[in-house]
Amino acid sequence: MSEQKTLIFGHKNPDTDTIASALVYAELKTRTGENAEAVRLGDVAQETQFALDHFGVEAPRRIDSASEETGSVILVDHNEFQQSVDDIENVTIREVIDHHRIANFQTEGPLLYRAEPVGCTATILLKLYKEQGEKPSKEMAGLMISAIISDTLLFKSPTCTKEDVQAAEELAVTAEVDLNEYGLEMLKAGADMSSKSTEE
């Protein structure tokens, strides 16, 4: 509809779900003809970098202000304003795709808000692909798996649901990875590096 670019981003101090969900939702939006770009609000963690490298995807560009570039944003993997971009109150939140409680969030107008009580935003994004008759690319399927494994600690966290497991198993076919083998490698990559600063 509009020619204005929409920025899609997750929370500050980004984790793998936040980075993956921004990239994945930007793919879906772009495919359905919208002018959307994934961005990030902080440094890429080592675990996330491992996932990006494994599937050959570049990290999104970092921003510190949204309103300098656009009036239109989509939040993924968060909704609380203090976790969002500093100037969140100066832009229009068109959509939120999230799996957290709602707090410190409000809008001036109606919006699309899709939250479900599942373990990971990527699990909800797979539903959105299906509802729109689309299928994630191999690269995006790989990032979605990485997000689910990260948020659920390889399906072991109490927040993990049957839907998260089913989504990961389905995506593993598209991404051509062994969930357990890849998952342990990715979590290990995050753990190995966690004692070093990201500047090293």
Residues binding its own copies (CB under 8 A): 99-117, 131, 159
Nearer to Mn ion, 11 or 94 (CB): 11
CA distance 199 to 22: 23
Amino acid, res. 93: I
Q: How far is the CB of 65 from Mn ion (least distance, A)?
A: 21
- Residue 164 is a binding residue for Mn ion (CB under 5 A): no
Q: Which of 67, 74, 131 is nearest to 98 (CA)?
A: 74
- Residue 77 interacts with Mn ion (CB under 5 A): yes or no: yes
| x/- track of binding to Mn ion for residues 103-142 (CB under 5 A) | ------------------x---------------------
Q: What is the 3-state secondary structure (H, E, C) of 123-140?
A: HHHHHHHHHCCCCCCHHH
Question: Which of these, 133, 130, 158, lies nearest to 144 by C-alpha position?
Answer: 130
Told to check if 17 binds Mn ion by CB under 5 A, we report yes
Q: Which does residue 101 touch among Mn ion, its own copies, none (CB within 5 to 8 A, set by kind)?
A: its own copies
Least Cα distance to 21 among 33, 13, 10 occurs for 10
Query: Which helix (DSSP H) or strand (DSSP E) does residue 188 occupy?
Result: helix 179-193
Residue 111 near which of Mn ion, its own copies, none (CB within 5-8 Å, type-dependent): its own copies
Strand 6-9 versus strand 36-40 pairing type: parallel
Q: Is 47 in the site for Mn ion (CB under 5 A)?
A: no
The site partner of 151 among Mn ion, its own copies, none (C-beta below 5 to 8 Å per kind) is: Mn ion
CA distance 172 to 178: 7
Tokens at 36, concatenated: 């959307």
Among 15, 37, 95, 139, interactor with Mn ion by CB under 5 A: 15
Which residue number, 19 or 75, has a Cβ lying nearer to its own copies?
Answer: 75
Rule CB under 5 A: which residues touch Mn ion? 15, 17-18, 77, 121, 151
